[in-house]
Amino acid sequence: MRRSRRSANRRIPLAPARPIVRPSRPPAGASPAPAPLDTPATAPETPAAAPSTALAEEGRVGQVLKTTAEFLPPVTVATALLFYFGWARSEVQAQELGIDTTSLDMSVQEYMMRSISSLYLPLGVGAAVLLAGIHLHHRTVTMAAVQERRPRLRVWARLLSSGWLVVPLAALLVEWAVPQLHDLVFPLGVALGVLLTTYAARLRALLAREDGRPRAAAPSSALHTALVGVMVVVALFWEVSAYAGVVGRGLADRVAGNLGNRISVTIYSPKDLQIHAPGVKVTAFDGENSAYGFCYTGLRLLQRSGGKYFLLPDGWTPADRKVIAIADDAALRVEFGRAAPGVPAHC
């Protein structure tokens, strides 16, 4: 048994030794073998480039606009300007025609709707100025990133810093040279001067940061921004008031000069309304079957508001400023037409 086991053990062949294979070098010009999947190659970390201070100024201006919008919401300011303009325009027009705007009893919506037609030109010009300002600011920020152009920007910053004084004085000189522009240019000069001075402070701070010079930063607190916004809004309301006066007087002159082209009004009443005005004709009806006893012609519609018709007689003159107010009553019958100038309507 021992011999058989030994012989069996001798018959089992031994495993051959595994040869050692050395890695061969790649031939010249060949690309290196890719790294194994379980050991990814990591690239050396490189520090991220810091953003340019000039380009970051775009974000700062956006933050300033956001802060201003929080204190002075654009929709609220626009609504207030529309209402104030409509009220001021109606006030001047009513006084020129001989009445007070409180007797018109107009609503906020009516004031705003009457102001839109007269604000197309100012709103268009204002939008164009804002677009031009945004474009110039973008060019200024781009120029500030170039060192060779910074001296020119410093000169402009020094000139703009005195805008709060120079621009209003120039506006006063324009009004003195052209009296028709009284109170129309100076408020805009105040608003523009304050904005230019504020922008000059921010431009100087931007140039100092680009040069790496320690310098006091431009005032960017919420309180400073709010105060600048309040000054600009007050100047805009001042400008709107002056412009509304011009528009109101122009509309009153247009009404007086083209009275015959306005809508004619004929009123039928069961009782005598005692309307006595130049150019108004009264016709009395006889008969028991007539629903109305009196008819009034020679009236022109000024407007309807507050549940009343405000009428002008055909003989209205600036010397005799008479406006007739008739309540919108179910007992009256009011007819509207297009009577030719100088030809009164018939009952």
CA gap 280, 310 in Å, rounded? 14
Higher pLDDT: 218 or 206? It is 206
| DSSP one-letter string for 108-175 | HHHHHHHHHTTSHHHHHHHHHHHHHHHHHHHHHHHHHTSGGGHHHHHHHHHHHTTHHHHHHHHHHHHH
Q: Which residue has the higher pLDDT, 218 or 127?
A: 127
Tell me: the pLDDT tens digits for 104-123? 889 988 998 888 888 888 88
Which pLDDT does position 45 carry in this prediction?
A: 44
The pLDDT of residue 90 is 92
- Reported residue count of the chain is 347
Residue 101 confidence class, pLDDT cut points 50, 70, 90: confident
CA dist., res. 72 & res. 17, Å (int): 89
